[in-house]
Amino acid sequence: MRKRRRPGAATARSAATSAARGKPRRAASSSARTPRRPRAPKATKRVFPDPELAAATLAAAARLEADAALLALSRDLAEARSEEQITDAVARALQVLFPGRSFAVRLVDHRTLALRTLHASGRLRSGARARIALRRAAIEKTGMSLPALEEQGVLITEVDEPLFEGCAVATAVPLAVGGQLFGVVNLEYAAGRADERVRDAPLLFRVANHAALGVRNLRSIEELTYLKTYLENLIEHANAFVLVVDRSRELTVWNAALVRATGLEREATLGEDLLSLVRPEDRAALGKVLDRGFAGEAVAGFETRLLRATGGEARVAFNTAPVVGGSGEVDDVIAIGQDLTLIRSLQAAAEHAERLAGIGRLVAGVVHELNNPLTAVNMYSDVLVEKLTHAGHDPADVEKVKAIHEAGMRIQRLARDLVAYAKPSGARTEPVELEGVIEEAVRLAKPALKEHAAVVEKKLDAAPPVEGSRSSLVQVVVNLVRNAAQAISEGGHVSVSLAPEGASVKLTVADDGAGMEPEIAARAFEPFFTTKGGQGIGLGLPIVQGIIERHGGSVALVTSPGKGTQVTVSLPVTRAR
């Protein structure tokens, strides 16, 4: 069934086809249906909003906007690391919450009320920058002291005073926490906008409370940081030993005084067991002291020996105390002490002086009684040896007389050493060339060198003269060369060197003998200490030390088992006269 065409459809299609082909469209037939007139739109009923609902909606939106701004302010204040950042954060919040108003944010020192930072949105009146004026009611609301503020220069008013030029009405809100003033926020209005002041006040107080807490928290952090740094510097640079150990006995504090005393750097000791840094024989006693500390007991006057990085030890005395943590338990033990090395050295010097005094009194009597008979014994025994030898007497008898003579000479040398040690001579000083002293001393020590078949090596650089007693310095070198000869095996080497070094001259006597254990070396300068059996009485090095110290010099001994011994004497050069 064919569809019936609508009138005018063919005409419309023809026109569309002609247009597509680019041909002009012919006018439609007059018989085409007249198009309908458009209907008039239906009348709609106009609805007017409820004024109360609209006001409530706007108020809710304003509250949401204010809460969002306050939340952003709280976040910015928590992230602030300086007062300038706090001031900028408060200024941004005021711009969002109070558009079109003039505002100022001032932060002051809570102790002196001196201005520290300022952000102002307009031109300030003359003298308004540092002047603080607050209403009496605002001050009383924060709990601050009116007399204290007035004494610090705050102007107490009944009405807030504007800061900006062109503003007629103002609200000044103090940034106060805990009765302390940290700053002031001013919000101001031009003439004719005074009604906004009352409406803005509650929100402005909320902003001020956030800002005051932010400033107080930042300054508390700064004060804690300063206090922490101050205490760390106090401990680090204290003229006393300070260390702290935790319950694992691991070091958490090791100050600069301990670094200087031991040579152990802080980075190398932190985290280490304290017991590993003391002498093995002292560890048990130190462990008991730490246990007492962790039990809550303080210990005073505990002595121990810390190991040095270069070898040897530092004798120290500590007072310990428990450090109680936040849980109420002892978390650490702190030890504060002093270096006893100098004290022990002074005690040794006092004991040495006391021994000298006793020996001096003994020597004064003994040597006087021995010298006359010893002179006769030595002289006559020497004559008898010569006489019996030339008369052809029994060689056994001659040897016996020789033994008498050698024993007498040994006693006389002993008496001389005792005198030299106990009652050093105050010989006249003069400029002395040490090259000649060394040559003379080596000649005098030749018997000892020959007895051990020692090979002497001399390296004498040109050196300026030193001020001293020539005979005493000769005795120093003789003693050192004899000691070196007695320390080597047959055919060993003894070296003597001389060289200038700055304002001093260094004289060194070294041997390639067996060397000394640390325990022996520590007692090398102790009077009457000897390892040579019947070959000496232990006064060689003490006499050397005494003579050199009286000349303003120093003596150092370096030795180790199997590597020989080296004694270095340092003497100041003669000053130009």
Residue 20 lies in a domain: no
Does 87 lie in the same domain as 198? yes
Phi and psi torsions of 190, nearest 5°: -75, 170
Please report the pLDDT score of residue 196 as a whole number.
87
Of the residues 371, 391, 422, which one is the last residue of a structural domain? Answer: 422
Residues 458, 477: Cα–Cα separation, whole Å: 13
Residue 555 lies in a domain: yes
Q: What is the per-residue pLDDT across 285-321, written as a single tens digit (0 to 9) for each?
A: 999 999 999 999 999 999 999 998 887 788 899 999 9
Does 287 lie in the same domain as 169? no
Does 480 lie in the same domain as 550? yes
Q: How many domains does the chain have?
A: 4
Tell me the torsion sign for CA atoms 288, 294, 296, 299.
positive
Which residue intervals of 492-539 are DSSP H helices? 518-521
Tell me the torsion sign for CA atoms 200, 203, 206, 207.
negative
Please report the pLDDT score of residue 20 as a whole number.
39
Structure tokens at 527: 């009077």
Q: Are 293 and 321 in contact (CB under 8 A)?
A: yes
Q: What is the pTM of this model?
A: 0.51
Does 66 lie in the same domain as 166? yes
Residue 308 lies in a domain: yes
Q: What is the per-residue pLDDT across 455-493, written as a single tens digit (0 to 9) for each?
A: 889 999 988 999 888 888 988 999 899 888 888 888 889
Q: At what angle do helices 395-422 and 540-550 cross, to 10 degrees?
A: 40
Please report the pLDDT score of residue 306 as a whole number.
92
For residue 439, the surrounding DSSP H or E stretch is helix 434-444
Of the residues 397, 422, 447, which one is the last residue of a structural domain? Answer: 422
Does 455 lie in the same domain as 402? no
Does 324 lie in the same domain as 243? yes
Does 275 lie in the same domain as 197? no
Residues 218, 334: Cα–Cα separation, whole Å: 31
Does 74 lie in the same domain as 148? yes
Residue 7 lies in a domain: no
Please report the pLDDT score of residue 241 as a whole number.
94
What is the Cα gyration radius of the chain? 51
Does 310 lie in the same domain as 198? no
Residue 200 lies in a domain: yes
Please report the pLDDT score of residue 192 as a whole number.
82
Does 211 lie in the same domain as 80? yes
Please report the pLDDT score of residue 281 as a whole number.
92
Please report the pLDDT score of residue 265 as a whole number.
93
SS3 category, 205: helix
- Name the DSSP class of 308: P
Domain that holds residue 325: 237-339
Specify the CATH number for the domain of residue 274.
3.30.450.20
Please report the pLDDT score of residue 536 as a whole number.
64
Please report the pLDDT score of residue 42 as a whole number.
57
Residue 42 lies in a domain: no
Residue 260 lies in a domain: yes
Does 335 lie in the same domain as 349? no
Residues 490, 454: Cα–Cα separation, whole Å: 7
Of the residues 339, 373, 398, which one is the last residue of a structural domain? Answer: 339
In the chain, the amino acid numbered 138 is A
Specify the CATH number for the domain of residue 68.
3.30.450.40
Report, as ranges of residue numbers, the positions in the chain whose pLDDT lies below 50. 1-34
Position of tokens 């002395």?
432
Q: What percent of the chain has pLDDT over 90?
A: 45
Residue 9 lies in a domain: no
